[in-house]
Chains A and B, each alone.
Chain A
Amino acid sequence: MGETEFAVIGGGLVGMAVAFGLQREGRRVTVFDEGDVAYRASRGNFGLVWVQGKGVGMPDYARWSRLSAALWPELAAELQEDTGLDLELRQPGGFDICLTEEGLAAAAARLDTLHTQLDGDYPFEVLGHNRLREMLPAIGPQVAGAIYGPEDGHTNPLVLLRALTTAFTRRGGAIENGAPVRDIEPQSSGFRIGSDPGWRAEKVVLCAGLGNAQLAPMVGMHAPVKPNRGQVLICERVKPFLPYPTAQIRQVGEGAVQIGDSKEDVGFDDGTTPQVMAAIAKRAVRIFPLLENLRVVRAWGALRVMSPDGHPIYDQSRRHPGAYLVTCHSGVTLAASHALRLAPWIAGGAPPVPYLETFGAERFAVSPPA
């Protein structure tokens, strides 16, 4: 029977950011990673460090995302110093490209609402075709315009995961690989992790992505997360032509072009379909016609971890103190907030922001408690 202070369930970007943050606070941490049978959203995502458009309906989520984007250079510098790995972090601002005037107007209206809800503290610009072409000369004639978010950026998500894992273990953290956790049992003090004899942990942090839905009730919490599939295409490496990330297409550090931003509700099927691949490729060519002749070298599907309103859930169990829940669909963007702000709170510190309770799962209660 193993013994640890903090058991972090899930070795993806959320779990590793929290685990790294806890280890950084001098805690004793063991990460339990299911293995490669897991859905692995952290290996399949798009790599954006993205602010714009997040928080419509929950302005605190916009605040939290902006905080993380602002903390990202600190996280990247620290991980780079710890590990020598270049996370390819670039935050030059980013574009959400719209192919129709209606789409552009709707996106602008959403951000206007957010701008008002945040008392005017929310930077963005609406660019028509001509102004956009000055910044992105490669756009095609069918592009109506774009929203520019000056705080947006991107990184290499695979290097991020490797850097978090490396920094965590170098600081003394332990990772149990191939260690799926199907049971968590609260005990008079602490928790038993896994079936008998299992591990003993003083505290447990659920960072298991879609697996949180099953695990949370075992420790008196609620994690109504469901999968939403995105398909991704990778084109061959080309010379730099796209100096900014966009919500639909980005050029990665070594030159390959990544195309994504499809959304499908297909349960736990993380495969690809010719229809969706063709649709996102076609849209990419309308946005940047020079992509027409590029070869696609890889494609995959991956499952977003979506709560009913799309926003993160951060919670602690009232019935079983010492159990925490951290789940979101933006493990890249929020990695800095998770490592540098949320983990110190889980380690026993004060809430990092006054609005932390906004992210509790109570907001999904069907009827208010009597």
Chain B
Amino acid sequence: MPNDSRFRRLPDPGRRAVAIVFDGRAVQAREGDSVAAAILAAGIAVTRRTPVSGAPRGPYCMMGVCFDCLVEIDGMPNCQACMVEVREGMRVRLMAGARGPGADLQGSKADD
């Protein structure tokens, strides 16, 4: 996974820093970022592996259509990272294949 993102943030001093975690790694985001934008800006390219072949995928359309940016957010599987705003302390994980039908939620319903 490259550390150097191809994405560059526009200078925007008005937005407060927000810290989230992706697969155990600290990611510095900005208030108002989508999870997908924050992940891409941090140089992370792969956010899920497909249920059928296990092929790597990352955010693509950034507008809620392609479903390629699915991640687990605070225990909730298959969230569209491009449609969820970052929150301080949010825990995001790579979505590895198909989710469980329900048992993996452990009662931690996310509020997206």
Which A residues are closer than 8 A to B by beta carbons? 138, 236-239, 241, 254-255, 257, 288-295, 297
For B102, list chain A residues within 8 Å (CB). Answer: 289-294
Residues of chain A lying within 8 A (CB to CB) of residue B78: 236, 295
- A254 — which chain B residues lie within 8 A by C-beta? 51-52
B52 adjacent to A238 (CB under 8 Å): no
- Given A293-B109, A295-B78 in contact, is the A239-B52 Cβ separation under 8 Å? no
Interface 9-mer from B6-14, B22-30, B58-66, B93-101: B93-101
Q: Are B109 and A290 in contact (CB under 8 A)?
A: no
Distance in Å: Cβ of A239 to nearest Cβ of chain B: 5
A236-B78, A237-B51, A255-B51 are known contacts. Are A294 and B98 too (CB-CB below 8 A)? no
In the complex, what distance in Å separates the CA atom of A257 from the CA atom of B101?
9
Q: B101, A291: Cβ atoms under 8 Å?
A: yes
A-B pairs with beta carbons under 8 Å apart, 29 shown: A138-B101, A236-B99, A237-B51, A237-B98, A237-B99, A238-B99, A238-B100, A238-B101, A239-B97, A239-B98, A239-B99, A239-B100, A239-B101, A241-B101, A254-B51, A254-B52, A288-B101, A289-B102, A290-B102, A290-B103, A291-B101, A291-B102, A292-B102, A293-B105, A293-B109, A294-B101, A294-B102, A295-B78, A297-B67
Besides A236-B78, A297-B67, 8 other A-B contacts (C-beta < 8 A):
A238-B100, A239-B101, A255-B98, A290-B102, A291-B101, A291-B102, A293-B102, A293-B105
Q: Which residue of A lies closest to B67 (CB)?
A: A297
CB distance from B38 to the nearest CB of A (A): 22
Residue in B52, B100, B101 whose Cβ sees the most chain A Cβ within 10 Å: B101
SS of B interface (majority): loop
Question: What is the number of contacts between chain A and chain B, taking CB atoms within 8 Å?
Answer: 37
User: What is the interface of chain A mostly: helix, strand, loop, or mixed?
Assistant: loop
How many residues on chain B are close to A (CB under 8 Å)?
13
Nearest 4 Cβ contacts at the A-B interface: A290-B102, A238-B101, A241-B101, A237-B51
Residues of A within 8 A of B101 (CB): 138, 238-239, 241, 257, 288, 290-291, 294
**Distance in angstroms between the alpha carbons of A138 and B67 in the assembled complex:** 28
Nearest B residue (CB) for A297: B67
* Across-interface contacts of B105 in A (CB, < 8 A): 293
Q: How far is the CB of A85 from chain B (nearest CB, A)?
A: 15
Q: Which of A291, A294, A297 has the most CB of B within 10 A?
A: A294
What chain A residues lie within 8 Å of B51 (beta carbons)? 237, 254-255
Question: Min CB distance, A133 to chain B, in Å?
Answer: 16
Q: In the docked arrangement, what's the CA distance between A294 and B102, Å?
A: 7
Residue of A nearest to B99 (CB): A238
Q: Once the chains are docked, how many angstroms separate the CA of A297 from the CA of B101?
A: 14
Which residue of A138, A238, A288, A292 has the most chain B CB atoms within 10 A of its CB atom?
Answer: A238
Cα separation A331 to B97 with both chains bound (whole Å): 33
- In whole Å, how far is B71's beta carbon from the nearest beta carbon of chain A? 13
Q: Which chain A residue has the least Cβ–Cβ distance from B51? A: A237
Alpha-carbon separation in the docked complex, A166 to B103 (Å): 41
Which residues 70-99 of B have a CB within 8 angstroms of A? 78, 97-99
Alpha-carbon gap, A289 to B102, bound state (A): 9
Most buried by A among B51, B98, B102: B102
| Shortest distance between the CB of B2 and any CB in chain A (Å) | 29
Give the chain B neighbours of A290 by CB distance below 8 A.
Answer: 101-103
Tell me which residues across on chain B come within 8 A of A292, comparing CB atoms: 102
Distance A237 CA – B98 CA, assembled complex (angstroms):
6
Q: What is the 8 Å Cβ interface bit string for chain B, positions 32-71, against chain A (1 contact, 0 not)? A: 0000000000000000000110000000000000010000
CB neighbours of A289 from chain B (8 A): 102
A239 to B67, CA, bound (A): 18
Task: Give Cα A52 to B36, complex, Å.
Answer: 48
A14 to B: closest C-beta gap in Å: 30
Chain A hits for B67, CB < 8 A: 297
Q: Tell me, in angstroms, the Cα distance from A239 to B105 when the chains sit together.
A: 13
Q: How far is the CB of B69 from chain A (nearest CB, A)?
A: 14
Q: How far is the CB of A242 from chain B (nearest CB, A)?
A: 8
Cα-based distance from A292 to B67 in the complex (angstroms): 21
Min distance, Cβ A238 to any Cβ of chain B, angstroms: 4
Task: Please name the residue on chain A nearest to B100 by beta carbon.
Answer: A239
| A237 cross-chain contacts in B, Cβ below 8 A | 51, 98-99
